[in-house]
Amino acid sequence: MILTLTLNPSLDRAVEVDELVRGEVIRATSAHLDPGGKGVNVSRALLANGVPSVAVLPCGGDEGGQLVRLLADEGVDVITVPIAGRTRSNITLAEPDGTVTKVNEPGPSLSVVEFEAVTARLLDTAGSADWVVLCGSLPPGLAVDAFARLCRRLVDAGLRLAVDTSGPPLRAAAEAGAALVKPNREELGEVVGRRLGTLDEVVAAAQQVLAWGADTVLASLGADGAVLVDTAGVHTGDSPVPQPRSTVGAGDALLAGFLAAGAHGPAALAEGLAWGAAAVSLPGSRMPGPGDLRRQAVRLHPRPDDLQQLVNQK
């Protein structure tokens, strides 16, 4: 079983339009309302493909209740922690050429008592988990130190920890000894403090994160695919999508597929790429099921020896 925690979940409304024109009244061609939040999406993708998962999340207000009902409709096993604030709502505007404009609300703050309650529910369930996955942004006002302590508690308990977040929390997770971190290119560049243009620069940045304490870095590169870096080597690949519809949740599907396939080596990377590409071909933040996967479209690329030697210098 894979246990996920989303500290800042959401309702995600995706609206498809012919063209986004600022200041104009635009008629939507379709609309979808889905459960949202990175960890929520990981659980949804896993369950859609028959992999057991449980999602832990704080919920508040009518929006929180609606989020739980939508997850129940998808068969997601949810552990909720009531909070005083209102669960956020996000809006995605998708154009036919694949351009996506996303507006995310900041979300509610968590009090110290509420965060401790979330932590307690997570730890109560974590003992039976193969992986514990912490995903998404931190709620407004939650200290990075509090997140770092949670990561250390999970690692010290002998649990395999995967983290998909950004900024100081991403570095905190690596320094806590997370088994896996999954930034995108921009998040990886932000955490190491430099722009990452080439694949060589991405690999070097991932190696820096390994030096902080993480075991594995899975970096998503958008249309360029993904790169997997650990002490055993470097693997890269992509999976072209002829007709992209929405990139929302694609990185979450990538992570879910990678975990479902064992979270190690090129075979797991290939599965993750198939899941991520399938998500891009679907509207809104829908997660792919078995019928959406095009594994034959995945392409893995060998890396030059000099990059292999770079990784082995840890």
Cα–Cα distance, 16 to 98 (Å, whole number): 10
Cα–Cα distance, 264 to 299 (Å, whole number): 17
Say which DSSP state 242 is in.
S
**Which residue is listed with tokens 């890396």?**
303
For residues 93-131, one letter each, b for 16 or more C-beta atoms within 10 angstroms of the residue's C-beta and e for the rest, the string is bbeeeeebeeeeeebbebeeebbebbbebbbebbeebeb
For residues 23-36, one letter each, b for 16 or more C-beta atoms within 10 angstroms of the residue's C-beta and e for the rest, the string is eeeeeeeeebbbbb
Burial class (CB in 10 A: 0-12, 13-18, 19+), 17: middle
The CA-CA-CA angle for residues 83, 85, 90, to 5°, reads: 115
Cα–Cα distance, 165 to 183 (Å, whole number): 7
Instruction: Work out the number of other CB atoms within 10 angstroms of the CB of residue 223.
Output: 13
Name every residue whose Cβ is closer than 8 Å to that of residue 214 and which is 6 or more positions away in sequence.
173, 174, 177, 178, 179, 180, 181
Residue 230 a catalytic site member: no
Cα–Cα distance, 67 to 61 (Å, whole number): 10
Instruction: Work out the number of other CB atoms within 10 angstroms of the CB of residue 176.
Output: 22
Q: Which of 34, 238, 252, 292 is catalytic?
A: 252
- In DSSP terms, 283 is beta-bridged to none
Cα–Cα distance, 222 to 13 (Å, whole number): 22
- The residues annotated with a catalytic role in the active site are 252
